[in-house]
Amino acid sequence: MTFRLSAVLAAALIALPLAAHAQAVSPAQRGEIETIVREYLLKHPEVLQEAMEELESRQNTAKAEKAKSTIKDAEATLFHSKRQVVLGNPNGDVTMVEFFDYNCGYCKGALADMMNLMKADPKLKVVLKEFPVLGRGSVEAAQVAIAVRMQDPKKYLDFHQKLLTGRGAADKARALAVAKEVGLDMARIEKDMASDEVKATLDESMKLAEPLGLNGTPSYVIGSDIVVGAVGHDALLGKINQARCGKATC
């Protein structure tokens, strides 16, 4: 009985759009078809759930394919820009790109995830992209951070950890205080902050984020996957393994 009704339903669903286009079905026939469809759905509401699950599956597949294409198009700037900060193994077999904001509370928690992943995985390359989306203070902190990278990349991680985990909102004053604490030349920091390089670095991150659909922090690109939000250590590890060996666990 179910098979027969399913076949009738399928035929009815096909007939409706065709009828609308070709006007091949009379009003009486259309009413009969609609009644059959309605009665079937009332008796078998699970069909709607199945349809929604199928729709979601197709949307997720399309989204994943679009992400792969977008990442491929931006590959050079995303993974190999001269303006990015590289941590971990610069020649690693998997790259995890993180877009972050110094005023992002979730980024503070995600810092521990990044450090633990690098510590446990000598083949992991980590790329940090300044993505100040939380106001003027965030932009100022990012400008100082870029000046730190320009002056001494080896001191960037120390600066990054101290500023990201420190108390209070991050802004120019606090970022400069941290830069001084880690031993940077402050006159040069101030000079570099006004340079074209700082503006170009921020513009680059913003232009990358838009086609990737990133509008919050932290956001990640790992292999061909886009990950939005502080998903935690285990979820990031699963994505790294997926990029490395095609499975959540290698």
Over range 204-224, report the average pLDDT.
92
Which tens digit of pLDDT belongs to each residue from 131-178?
999 999 999 999 999 999 999 999 999 999 999 999 889 999 999 999
Per-residue confidence band for 196, with pLDDT thresholds at 50, 70 and 90: very high
What fold characterizes domain 75-245? Glutaredoxin (3.40.30)
Query: What tokens does 13 get?
Result: 């669903």
Distance of CA 158 to the CA centre of its chain: 25
**Range name among 31-35, 212-216, 218-222, 243-247 with the lowest pLDDT average:** 31-35
For the chain, the domains span 1-47, 75-245
pTM listed for this prediction: 0.75
d(CA 137, CA 101): 10
Residue 83 — very low, low, confident or very high, per pLDDT cuts 50/70/90?
very high
Average pLDDT of every residue of the chain: 87
Q: Given this model, what pLDDT does residue 17 score?
A: 54
Instruction: Report yes or no: 146 and 201 within 8 Å, Cβ to Cβ.
Output: yes
